Structure 1
Amino acid sequence: MTSSSEQLLPGTQRALLHRIATAQSEGRTPSLVAAVQRRGQAVWSGSRSGTDGHAADADTQFRVGSITKTFTAVLVLRLRDEGLLDLDDPLEKHLPGTGVGTVTLHQLLGHSAGLGAESPAPWWERTPGTLRPELADVLGERTEMHPPGHRYHYSNPGYTLLGSLIERVRGVSWEEALRCEILEPLGMHRTSPRPQAPHADGWAVHPWADVLLPEPAEDLGLMAPAGQLWSTAGDLLRFAAFLAEGDDRVLCAASVEQMREPSAPGQPGEWGSAYGLGLQIEREDGRTLFGHTGSLPGFLAALWFSVDDDVAAVVLTNVTSGPMAGGVAADLAKIVAEAEPRVPDPWRPLPEVGPELLALTGPWYWGTRPHLLRLGPDGGLDLRPLHGNGRGARFTALPDGTWIGRDSYYAGEILNVVRNSDGSVNHLDLGSFVFTREPYDPDAAIPGGVDEGGWRGLGT
């Protein structure tokens, strides 16, 4: 077990070790490696092995399966940020001739394109990619399982298409783009399309006896962007830190935040989970976790991080079916978040605030309902109901003097400060809703007007 200078308490470390020991024993996996990160720093790692003297560690490669999809999504978002494509573009615009070209890049990223979950037989995860040399071999004859954009339906072929899109637009292989644009800038030197020693071998464990069967480790060919990668717990923690904060060398904070936004409606019974752009979203005990799980024959993997708790956890195992890596990783994040809650950063005053902006803060009324408008630490505005739940949002300033909603009900809506001829504020206009300094202020431009008799009691 290792830890950084930001040491976890002994009780927390004991709880983490107990959780992975239970997972390895009950899940009957040859080896299991886990690591936890807090405030962007690795603070704990642990491993359990069924072979004496051969325990893996945070620098041992495991195959991570569909966590690969998150890397592929980052490469697509980079192309978008460079202006080389738009997420609403149909696939046909950049990758013609697929037969499914009307689906959009956004739908492919969020698994709402309606494509099949798997490629046609034989089972692509246990056979060489050379059996599927063309995209038509990956997609098969029945390409549309659902109308595009109507529902979430996980699709491995969809991410194959995105990998081919990256190659077409960038003019280099998916592997080369991955190495130059993500792995090298983030210092992920132990992440690669093919295994590099030290690495774990993949195994299947007999369901009714404690015996093993080696699993093949095939090169997936065109399917590589959906699940090819090998990585380590240490490298995946670096990736988690990037996905939480952004890194301008790879993708800015606003773009990784967009990856964390739900992209398609879930189905009944799935409302505790969603999918963003290359990221899974889970609600666990009131905590929102982002990340991805992965599996290929011989391996299970999971990466979860909580932005609010500033904690991330990775679990890697070398077994086909065993401990639920996603559940174990979620438990590790929960253990740290609850045993050692995040210590808030010190409050600091803003460097400078203009009087006109400061004058906008304070109470405002939508009809008779009071709201508070606060100036945020980033210089943006935050509008929330004074009591209870309701419509609110954070707002960012635009060059024309208006403000645009960043989240919640008013995401994308424009907040406009409407002024009188003398420059004083008459009201706030938010998507046609009028917010005034007094409930139904008669001096403000209230739609429908205000009764001239004013406020009154109920007569007898």
Structure 2
Amino acid sequence: MTTPQEELLPATSRALLHRIAVAQAEGRAPSLVASVVRDGRAVWHGARTSVDGQVPDENVQYRIGSITKTFTAVLVMRLRDEGLLGLGDPLEKFVPGTGAGEATIAELLAHTGGLAAESPGPWWERTPGSLRPELSDVLGEQPLLHPVGRRHHYSNPGYTLLGALVEELRGISWEEALRREVLEPLGLDRTTVRPQAPHAGGWAVHPWADVLLPEPAEDLGRMAPAGQLWSTTADLARFAAFLVKGDERVLSAESVCEMRTPAAPAEAVDVMSGDAYGLGMQIQRRHGRLLVGHSGSLPGFLASVSISVEDDVAAVVLANCTSGPLVSGVAADLVRIVAEAEPRIPDAWIPMRAVDPSVLELTGQWYWGTYAFALRLTADGLASLEPLSGNGRRSRFRPNGDGTWTGLEGYYAGELLKAVRRPDGSVSHLDLGSFVFTRQPYDEAAPVPGGVDPEGWRGIG
């Protein structure tokens, strides 16, 4: 019997250190820290620094900017799961009078609410939140720049509205709700709204000279749900593990999976790059693998969390500079290094404990017209329908307990699959959202829509 290697191999660790060293040197970052998560726990931490000689460990705080949005999205999804709101509900139902109330909760989460990217001046990231005490100060006189629901347009004010939604339905501040409902249950005691020592200072690096300028660290006030938080690589490593598998104390695995699912119509440029946006999470295709997570930036800081669910590998990268290293690219590289050098060891195959004979007889080859498919049962209780050619529509299906199955992904997501039986109980065909699947191509014994030519199959000449 063998078990997965828990710690990374020395060669892998050196490759990770080399990658962040190059990023810190070429990006001219005062410091850069990173962690890698595998199998739900941190397995590597690395750091490089050029300021005061103190190498930051995994408990030094950095500002994480828009990664805060993912935390806010978790709070909103909790409200949905408790039945206090629906994702299709308009904001106006809960927070009236904003001027942006026709946008739904889902549209605000996915940045498709039509709102502006930023609040009206002055520059909100470098000025105190006391200058914007009300929602009207954040939204301005014209909150909407685009038709609601028509396009993805990243919006910081949109997440201010979601923070206000949390406060309205919980009756406490966004900060308090976050602490009680997410940070404490997940053990993220070094993730805070205001910096707590030890923490990095934020710097601007001159673009044409190797000199530094301190950046202000403002309290963002109403804009806090969009970018206020400070955190560490250790805490974000735990948060990344949660975003893969969920935690019933906070949010189920099904709900975090929903957050990772594309929810916004992509711009043409994003389609070409493979980028999309879910419910509070960015979705990217890099190095041939699908990555989810979020990036963040505020004056003086850059941050990224990047997760490959398929490889069960995540990376966190934090730097204390306004511009410099492309931390999202570094995080993607760290994931790639581990996934390629030490590929995930699959779980052992386990047979099903029991199977209903009436279900077992549905397995095997089926035809949709002349397209050949295979229906298989798996030990997790699901069924899969896949084209034998390898190309085409495919999906897994979960049983509904009444002899029908519901599609879980792709074209057949939400569609109903059922076996249609003859009076004697034998299976005539499968019905999948009105499509007829038969045991033979256009089986004349099955009720194929449009009928089957009585002369049958033939050659020419």
- Superimposed CA distance per residue, residues 70-116 of structure 1 (whole angstroms, 9 cap, x where no aligned partner): 00001111100110000000000011111111110010000001100
Q: How does 1:85-124 map to 2 (within 5 A)?
A: 85-124=85-124
CA distance in 2, matches of 1:384, 1:51: 56
Q: 1:398 aligns with which of 397, 400, 424?
A: 400
Cα deviation for residue 171 of structure 1 reads: 1.3
2:253 corresponding residue in structure 1:
253
Question: Which amino acid in structure 2 is aligned with residue 83 of structure 1?
Answer: G
Match in the other structure for 2:316? 314
Whole-angstrom CA distance in 2 between matches of 1:119 and 1:344: 47
> Displacement of 1:261 after TM fit?
0.9
> CA offsets per residue over residues 208-233 of structure 1, 9 Å max, x none?
11111111111111100000000000
Question: Which runs of structure 2 are paired with 1:347-362 in the superposition (5 Å)?
Answer: 347-362=349-364
Given that 1:5 and 1:43 are in contact with CA atoms closer than 8 Å, whether structure 2 keeps it comes out as no
CA distance in 2, matches of 1:418, 1:429: 7
Within the alignment, does 1:423 sit opposite 2:425 as a pair? yes
Q: Secondary structure at the match of 1:65?
A: coil
Shift of 1:376: 2.5
2-structure distance, mates of 1:145, 1:302: 28
Find the aligned partners of 2:297 and 2:353 in 1 and give their Cα distance.
48
Contact 2:406 2:414 in 1 (8 A): yes
Instruction: Indicate if the aligned counterparts of 2:352 and 2:378 stay in contact, CA closer than 8 A.
Output: no
CA distance in structure 1 between the partners assigned to 2:378 and 2:127 by the alignment: 54
Correspondence 1:46-195 to 2 at 5 A = 46-51=46-51, 53-195=53-195
Q: Residue 374 of structure 1: which of 366, 372, 376 is its match?
A: 376
Gaps of 5+ in 2: none
1:351 and 1:388 mapped to 2: Cα distance?
29
Whole-Å Cα distance in 2 between the matches of residues 167 and 351 of structure 1? 47
SS at match of 1:415: strand
Give the Cα–Cα distance (whole angstroms) in 2 for the partners of residues 451 and 53 of structure 1: 83
Residue type at the aligned position of 2:134: E
Q: Equivalents in 1 of 2:323, 2:181: separation in Å?
A: 33
Shift of 1:29: 0.9
Q: Distance in 2 between matches of 1:5 and 1:405?
A: 35
- Give me the whole-angstrom Cα distance separating, in 1, the residues matched to 2:67 and 2:146: 24
What does the per-residue CA deviation read over 1:47-84, in whole Å, with 9 as the maximum and x for residues that have no partner? 00003541111111100000000000011111001100
Deviations 1:393-436 (A, max 9, x none): 11112244321111011111111221111222111111111001
Tell me how far apart the structure 1 counterparts of residues 214 and 384 of structure 2 sit (CA, whole Å).
56
The whole-number CA distance in structure 1 between the counterparts of 2:264 and 2:41 is 32
1:180-216 deviation per Cα after TM superposition (whole angstroms, max 9, x unaligned): 1111111111111111111111111111111111111
Correspondence for 1:222: 222
Q: Name the amino acid aligned to 1:165.
A: L
- 1:237 paired with 2:251, answer no
Question: Partner residue of 1:439?
Answer: 441
In the alignment, does 2:47 pair up with 1:27? no
1:31–1:318 contact (8 Å) kept in structure 2: yes
Q: 1:455 offset after TM fit, Å? A: 2.0
CA distance in 2, matches of 1:167, 1:422: 60
For 2:158, give the aligned amino acid: G
- Identity fraction in percent: 68
| Alpha-carbon distance in 1 for matches of 2:381, 2:14 | 42
SS at match of 1:192: coil
Contact 2:65 2:298 in 1 (8 A): yes
Amino acid at match of 1:428: L
Residue 268 of structure 2 aligns to a residue in which SS? coil
Point out 4+ residue stretches in structure 1 off by more than 3 angstroms. none
Please name the residue that 1:301 is paired with: 303
| 1:195–1:230 Cα contact (<8 Å) kept | yes
Structure-1-length-normalised TM-score? 0.97
* Structure 1 residue 441, shift from structure 2 partner: 1.1
CA distance in 1, matches of 2:239, 2:232: 11
Partners of 1:355 and 1:183 lie apart in 2 by 47
In structure 2, relative to structure 1, the CA distance for the partners of 1:219 and 1:52 (3 Å cut) is closer
CA contact (8 A) 2:20 2:32 kept: yes
Q: Distance in 1 between matches of 2:9 and 2:296?
A: 30
AA aligned to 2:392 is G
CA, structure 1 residues 5+354, in 2 after alignment: closer, same or farther (shift >3 Å)?
A: closer
| Residues 339-386 of structure 1 deviation map (CA, whole Å, 9 limit, x = unaligned) | 111111111112221111111111111011110011123211110100
Residues 144-199 of structure 1 show CA distances to partners (whole Å, capped at 9, x for unaligned) of: 11111111100000000000001101111111111111111111111111111111
Q: For residues 173 and 393 of structure 1, what CA distance do their matches in structure 2 show? A: 42
Q: Alpha-carbon deviation of 1:5? A: 7.7
Cα drift, residue 270 of structure 1 = 1.1
Q: Distance in 2 between matches of 1:52 and 1:78?
A: 42
- AA at the equivalent of 1:236: L
For 2:409, the equivalent position in structure 1 comes to: 407
SS at structure 2 position matched to 1:269: helix
Distance in 2 (CA, whole Å) between partners of 1:154 and 1:166 is 20
Range with bigger deviation, 262-271 or 89-98: 262-271
Q: Is the 8 A contact 1:302 1:314 kept in 2?
A: yes
Q: Partner letter of residue 89 of structure 1?
A: D
Deviation string, structure 1 residues 312-354 (Cα, Å, up to 9, x no partner): 0000010011101101111100111111111111111122211
Q: Who is 1:18 aligned against?
A: 18
**Cα distance between partner residues in 2 of 1:425 and 1:248:** 40
Give 1:7's aligned residue.
7
- What SS class does the counterpart of residue 66 from structure 2 fall into? helix
Q: Distance in 1 between matches of 2:259 and 2:380?
A: 21
Secondary structure of the structure 2 residue equivalent to 1:97: coil
**Partner amino acid for 2:141?**
E
